[in-house]
Copies of this chain bind each other. A is one copy, B any other.
Amino acid sequence: MEYNKNFYQIHSNDDIFQRIKDERAEIGYYDLPYQDTNDIKNYVATVRQRHIVVLGIGGSSLGARAIYEFLLPSNKYQKDLIFLETVDPLEIKYCLKKLDINDAHFVVISKSGSTIETISLFKYLSTLVEVNGKNCTIISEAKTKLTKYANNNDIKVFELAENIGGRFSVFSVVGLVPLAMVGADIDNLLNGCRRVSDSFFKQKEYYQPIISKARFLVENKARFNINAIFSYSSSLESFNKWYVQLWAESLGKLNINKTRQALTPIALIGPVDQHSFLQLIIDGVRDKTVTFIKIADLKDDTIIPKSSANLGLEYAEGLSFNDLLNKQADATIQSVEAQKDIPCDVITISTVDEYNIAKLMFSYQLLVSTIGQFLQINTYDQPGVENGKVILTNALKC
């Protein structure tokens, strides 16, 4: 009889760090900060259309969208970036109405080349406008039908490496190509990633906090099974969605002992969700950790003006909206901390630019990889969604 199973091993921080370093040789996203972007920059300089339309879903759209919408209110772009994700026909038509299809460039992104939403949308678009090498770019793995189609039709292909999964692909061609097309500074994105990566792999004072946070979340996952982020700026709303995918799809797994692992992400926006979810955090069951994300300086000095209208709240007059936003964040943080028994931390990024959002996102990828090592799961696959795809294929084929 043999009965020797690793039911659960909690590893030392040093051991986990070594495992991440080992993993780095296999998992593609770790190298992305050090890539050469010349091919991308040279190519996008030839794209003349005013609307850039991404056809992609999940990992093929969420990352670029997070960065695009973070920078959007500060007027960084000369062109629109539009995301066609869903197959809801009303939504598709509503989206297409907003753009001039003859002045649009389509970026079709599917790692497998056979994503049913993306390919169906692409077929439909091809009936509305002639698609060719002048108004289309394709991003896929090397050997897919989509890549073959592109090669047969003189459409530029950016190949996505097999060892880069969708939710870890934002700093690959998947994110960089569409972002570069609208004028985002992709080198500064990679600067931010490199800063985080270099620090993490070389400086103990940087990697220890990430590993300690991962350890805390894992050791307390039965009690605190929900991890909320509370982002204080509406421009982080798509970042929030990216976080939810990264966290949920990476960490919801059977581990090597075949036991179910999970940390459940919740993503909130401040101050809006002070008027919604906050009540549940404060008075509800203690099953949540909360990470606040603040932006120190929005570089905007719009002031709440003095008013003679007798509307009250005079004490806020003269303050900038930027200050009000951050003081609201601080007050919420204090009110959560005052509860004493809600695990809570604060991440502050300096300002709204490529460098800072990349730092935030790359750090989150490292945190998720680290949690995955503690949980003893495969952080990079998604076996749970395959059965639904088989059921759908069978339903469509009969």
Q: How far is the CA of A25 from the CA of B116 in the complex (A)?
A: 52
In the complex, whether A385 has a CB less than 8 A from a CB of chain B is yes
A296-314 vs B, Cβ < 8 Å mask (1 yes, 0 no): 0010101011010111110
Given A116-B313, A331-B395, is A260 in contact with B278 using a C-beta cutoff of 8 Å?
no
Within 8 A of B (CB), among A232-270: 233-235, 241, 244-245, 248-249, 251-254, 260-262, 264, 266, 269
Among B85, B91, B149, B322, contact of A73 (Cβ-Cβ < 8 Å):
B91
In the complex, whether A274 has a CB less than 8 A from a CB of chain B is yes
* Chain A contacts to B: CB under 8 angstroms: 57-59, 62, 72-75, 85-94, 113-114, 116-117, 119-120, 122-124, 126-127, 145-146, 148-149, 153, 166-167, 225-226, 233-235, 241, 244-245, 248-249, 251-254, 260-262, 264, 266, 269, 271-272, 274-288, 298, 300, 302, 304-305, 307, 309-313, 315-317, 319-322, 324-325, 327-328, 330-332, 334-335, 338, 352, 382-385, 387-389, 391-393, 395-397
CB distance from A166 to the nearest CB of B (A): 7
Given A90-B235, A279-B252, A385-B282, is A315 in contact with B260 using a C-beta cutoff of 8 Å?
no
Q: How far is the CA of A145 from the CA of B310 in the complex (A)?
A: 7
Chain A to chain B contacts (Cβ below 8 Å), 19 pairs: A91-B233, A120-B304, A122-B311, A123-B311, A124-B302, A124-B321, A126-B305, A127-B305, A149-B310, A225-B225, A226-B264, A248-B277, A249-B277, A264-B266, A279-B383, A315-B397, A328-B392, A331-B395, A334-B391
Q: Per DSSP, are chain A's interface residues mostly helix, strand or loop, or mixed?
A: helix
Chain B residue numbers with a CB within 8 Å of A285 are 225, 260-262
A391 touches B331 (CB 8 A): yes
CB distance from A56 to the nearest CB of B (A): 10
Q: How far is the CA of A299 from the CA of B294 in the complex (A)?
A: 43
B309 touches A123 (CB 8 A): yes
A284 touches B298 (CB 8 A): no
Among B73, B166, B277, B283, contact of A260 (Cβ-Cβ < 8 Å):
B283
Chain B residue numbers with a CB within 8 Å of A315 are 393, 396-397
